[in-house]
Structure 1
């Protein structure tokens, strides 16, 4: 199977963005399931605007897509992106985020925020 190559500048930008532990963790979580911002707040000791800023950077780079459902926005990995293969390869080398997903499921923040 031939994999398409990613432009060097784009690959460097992706690697730079994923060099941030929070963004790398967000992408790791999104590999396993979609999330809204309130769910990310369960696993990061940071503010909602900070999480939203990380998600905006990932979205601007084409890694993440969003889907509006009523007043809430859910985020997922952009599997149609030309860089999706690179993201998958990177995520093969970092621990999965099952523990963080269990934390989200246990605390069920969507009940509080209404999404």
Structure 2
């Protein structure tokens, strides 16, 4: 990893909302519509964050019909470091389980 790659990585990780996105993705792959509920943000705002995470190669996308499912890139050279950093953070207030309990969990397939 060179300086410019490290800068891109740290900028991608160094945002509150992107940290939350990565923390959620530690548990399971999710689509944008689930992030809108979890983070109370608009779809375009979430998409901007996902573009930055994708540019840093921290996330991967999988097309399922008209849906895009996002997951952590487990092949990233700094994946173990990312997991360690995220494990230092508290769990988000809003959980995937609470979303399901509220009947707001969307299965995008």
TM-score by length of 2: 0.85
1:17-45 deviation digits (Å, cap 9, x = unpaired): 22211000000000011100010011112
Please name the residue that 2:100 is paired with.
105
What is the alpha-carbon root mean square deviation over aligned residues? 1.9
1:61-87 deviations in Å (ceiling 9; x for gaps)? 100000011110100000011121221
Contact 1:38 1:109 in 2 (8 A): no
Normalised TM-score (structure 1): 0.81
Instruction: Give the whole-Å Cα distance in 1 for the aligned partners of 2:98 and 2:50.
Output: 20
| 2:87 aligned partner | 92
- Compute the displacement of 1:47 (Å): 0.8
Instruction: Report how many residues are paired.
Output: 108
Partners of 2:36 and 2:46 within 8 A in 1: yes
- Which stretches of structure 1, 4 residues or longer, exceed 2 Å deviation after superposition? 6-13, 96-99, 103-109
Gaps spanning 5+ residues in structure 1: where?
1-5
Q: Look up the match of 2:10.
A: 15
